[in-house]
Amino acid sequence: MGALFYMVAAIFLGVLGINKMHSWWLLPSWFIFVVVCTFILYAHIPLLYSIVKILGSIYARIIRIGIPSEKITAAQHADAIEIIERLFLNKK
């Protein structure tokens, strides 16, 4: 959600000719919104969870255009293995 907003904010500030000084309040306030979205995803708040998940999924699909799904799956699998190995090494 953070990457989505920063991209949209950069486009709107540039295309609409909005004063760049607005980024001083706009970007930090969106950081707080990203923290709230993280809490929503963690707590599974019913309606809000669905909205955040759908927006995130749409953005991810747009960003991943042109990347084969096998490559994405392999990267996710490798990341999961690395995280599990790190957890076991920290417990020892």
What are the residue ranges spanned by the domains of the chain?
2-67
**50-88, pLDDT tens digit by residue?**
888 888 888 888 888 888 889 988 998 999 899 888 888
Q: What's the confidence (pLDDT) of residue 41?
A: 83
* E runs forming strands in the chain: none
This model's pTM is above 0.85: no
For residues 90 and 68, the model is more confident at 68
The 10 Å Cβ neighbour count of residue 30 is 18
- Contact assessment for residue 3 and residue 27, using Cβ atoms and an 8 Å cutoff: no
Cα separation, 89 vs 82, in Å, equals 11
Residue 67, sorted as left (phi over 0), alpha (psi -120 to 50) or beta, turns out to be beta
